[in-house]
Structure 1
Amino acid sequence: MSHHHDAPLRSSNRDLQEIEKKMDRRRFLTKTSLGIGSLALGSLMGMEKILAANPETPPMLSESANGLEGLPHFMPKAKRIIYLFQAGGPSQLDLYDYKPKLVDLHGQELPASVRDGQRLTGMSADQSSFPMTSSAFKFNQYGQSRTWVSELMPHTAEIVDELCFIKSMQTSQINHDPAITFFQTGHQLPGRPSMGSWLSYGLGSDNQNLPSFIVLVSKDAVQDQPLYSRLWGNGFLPSQYQGIQFRSGKDPVLYLGNPENYDGEDRREMLDYLKSLNEVQYDTYGDPEISARIAQYEMAFRMQTSVPDVTDMSKEPDWVYEMYGEESRDPGTYAANCLLARKLIEQDVKFVQLYHQGWDHHGNLPNGIKNQCEKTDQANAALIKDLKQRGLLEDTLVVWGGEFGRTVYSQGTLSPDNYGRDHHPRCFTKWMCGAGVKPGFSYGETDDFGYNVVKDPVHVHDLQATILHLFGIDHERLTYKHQGRRFRLTDVEGHVVKGILT
Structure 2
Amino acid sequence: MTNPFNNPQFADSLNRRIFLQGSTAVGLSALTGLLQPSAAAAPSAAATPHPALAGLPHFAPKAKRIIYLFQSGAPSQMDLFDPKPEMEKHRGEDLPASIRKGQRLTTMTSGQKTFPVAPSMFKFAQHGNGGMWFSELTPAMAKLADKFCMIRSMYTEAINHDPAITFCQTGHQLAGRPSIGSWVTYGLGSVCENLPAYVVLTSFGSGRPDDQPLYDRLWGSGFLPSQHQGVKFRNSGDAVLYLSNPPGVTAEARRGTLDRLAALNGQHGAVVGDPEIQTRIAQYEMAFRMQTSVPDLLNISKESQETLDLYGKDVKRPGSYAANCLLARRLAERDVRCVQLFHMGWDHHGSLPAAIKGQCKDTDQATAALITDLEQRGLLDETLIVWGGEFGRTIYSQGGLTATNYGRDHHPRCFTVLLAGAGIKGGLTYGATDDYCYNITESPVHVHDLNATLLHLLGVDHERLTFKYQGRDFRLTDIHGHVVKGVLS
TM-score exceeds 0.5: yes
Match of residue 303, structure 1, among 285, 290, 312: 290
Contact 1:240 1:292 in 2 (8 A): yes
Partner letter of residue 162 of structure 1? K
More moved, 213-222 vs 162-171? 213-222
User: Equivalent residue for 1:372?
Assistant: 359
Q: Deviations over 1:378-405 (max 9, x none)?
A: 0011111111111110010010010000
Partner letter of residue 63 of structure 2? A
User: Equivalent residue for 1:29?
Assistant: none
Q: CA deviation at 1:284?
A: 1.4
User: Equivalent residue for 1:144?
Assistant: 129
2:461 pairs with 1:454: no
User: Equivalent residue for 1:323?
Assistant: 310
What is the SS of the residue equivalent to 1:68? coil
Q: CA deviation at 1:257?
A: 1.6
Cα separation, partners in 2 of 1:413 and 1:40, compared to 1, 3 Å: closer
Cα separation, partners in 2 of 1:37 and 1:347, compared to 1, 3 Å: closer
Q: CA separation in 1, counterparts of 2:14 and 2:158?
A: 45
User: Equivalent residue for 1:399?
Assistant: 386
User: Equivalent residue for 1:484?
Assistant: 471
Contact 1:134 1:408 in 2 (8 A): yes
Cα separation, partners in 2 of 1:41 and 1:376, compared to 1, 3 Å: closer
What is the SS of the residue equivalent to 2:385? strand
Partner letter of residue 343 of structure 1? R
2:287 pairs with 1:289: no
2:154 pairs with 1:178: no
Match of residue 210, structure 1, among 195, 198, 211: 195
Q: CA deviation at 1:144?
A: 1.4
2:260 pairs with 1:243: no
Match of residue 152, structure 2, among 164, 167, 172: 167
Q: Deviations over 1:164-223 (max 9, x none)?
A: 000000000000000000001111111011111111111111111000100111145524
Cα separation, partners in 2 of 1:343 and 1:223, compared to 1, 3 Å: farther
Cα separation, partners in 2 of 1:307 and 1:37, compared to 1, 3 Å: closer
Q: CA deviation at 1:273?
A: 2.2
Q: CA deviation at 1:41?
A: 6.8
Q: CA deviation at 1:130?
A: 1.0
Q: Deviations over 1:337-377 (max 9, x none)?
A: 10111001000001110011111111110001011001110
Q: CA deviation at 1:459?
A: 0.4
2:247 pairs with 1:264: no
Q: CA separation in 1, counterparts of 2:250 and 2:327?
A: 28
Contact 2:65 2:382 in 1 (8 A): yes
Q: CA separation in 2, counterparts of 1:247 and 1:109?
A: 45
Percent identity between the aligned chains? 60
Number of corresponding residues: 455
Match of residue 345, structure 1, among 321, 325, 332: 332
User: Equivalent residue for 2:41?
Assistant: none
Asked which structure has the greater CA Rg, the reply is 1
Partner letter of residue 157 of structure 1? A
Q: CA separation in 1, counterparts of 2:72 and 2:484?
A: 24
Contact 1:481 1:487 in 2 (8 A): yes
Cα separation, partners in 2 of 1:35 and 1:390, compared to 1, 3 Å: closer
Q: CA deviation at 1:40?
A: 12
Q: CA deviation at 1:34?
A: 12
Match of residue 421, structure 1, among 408, 414, 423: 408
What is the SS of the residue equivalent to 1:265? helix
Cα separation, partners in 2 of 1:149 and 1:38, compared to 1, 3 Å: closer
Matches within 5 A, 1:14-29: none
Contact 1:60 1:291 in 2 (8 A): no
Q: CA separation in 1, counterparts of 2:275 and 2:476?
A: 21
What is the SS of the residue equivalent to 1:218? strand
What is the SS of the residue equivalent to 1:315? coil
TM-score by length of 1: 0.87
Cα separation, partners in 2 of 1:35 and 1:186, compared to 1, 3 Å: closer
What is the SS of the residue equivalent to 1:356? strand
Q: Deviations over 1:315-352 (max 9, x none)?
A: 11111111110011111101011011100100000111
Q: CA separation in 2, counterparts of 1:211 and 1:305?
A: 13
Q: CA separation in 1, counterparts of 2:397 and 2:252?
A: 63
Q: CA deviation at 1:483?
A: 1.2
Contact 1:86 1:401 in 2 (8 A): yes
Q: CA deviation at 1:35?
A: 6.3
Partner letter of residue 145 of structure 1? G
2:118 pairs with 1:112: no
Match of residue 450, structure 2, among 463, 467, 478: 463
More moved, 313-322 vs 413-422? 413-422
Q: CA separation in 2, counterparts of 1:132 and 1:250?
A: 45
User: Equivalent residue for 1:76?
Assistant: 61
User: Equivalent residue for 2:462?
Assistant: 475
Q: CA separation in 2, counterparts of 1:255 and 1:229?
A: 18
Matches within 5 A, 1:29-44: 38=14
Q: CA separation in 2, counterparts of 1:399 and 1:60?
A: 36
Q: CA deviation at 1:417?
A: 3.3
Q: CA separation in 1, counterparts of 2:71 and 2:10?
A: 56
Q: Deviations over 1:402-453 (max 9, x none)?
A: 0000001111111233311100000000100000010011100001110000
Cα separation, partners in 2 of 1:482 and 1:103, compared to 1, 3 Å: same
Q: Deviations over 1:101-148 (max 9, x none)?
A: 111111111110110111110100101111111101011111111111
Q: CA deviation at 1:158?
A: 0.6
State the 4+ residue runs in structure 1 displaced beyond 6 angstroms: 33-37, 39-42, 59-64
Cα separation, partners in 2 of 1:317 and 1:452, compared to 1, 3 Å: same
- Identify unmatched segments of 5+ residues in structure 2: 1-8, 22-32, 36-46
What is the SS of the residue equivalent to 1:259? coil
Cα separation, partners in 2 of 1:72 and 1:138, compared to 1, 3 Å: same
2:444 pairs with 1:435: no
Q: CA deviation at 1:229?
A: 0.6
Contact 2:17 2:272 in 1 (8 A): no
Contact 2:49 2:193 in 1 (8 A): no
Partner letter of residue 106 of structure 2? T
Partner letter of residue 95 of structure 2? L
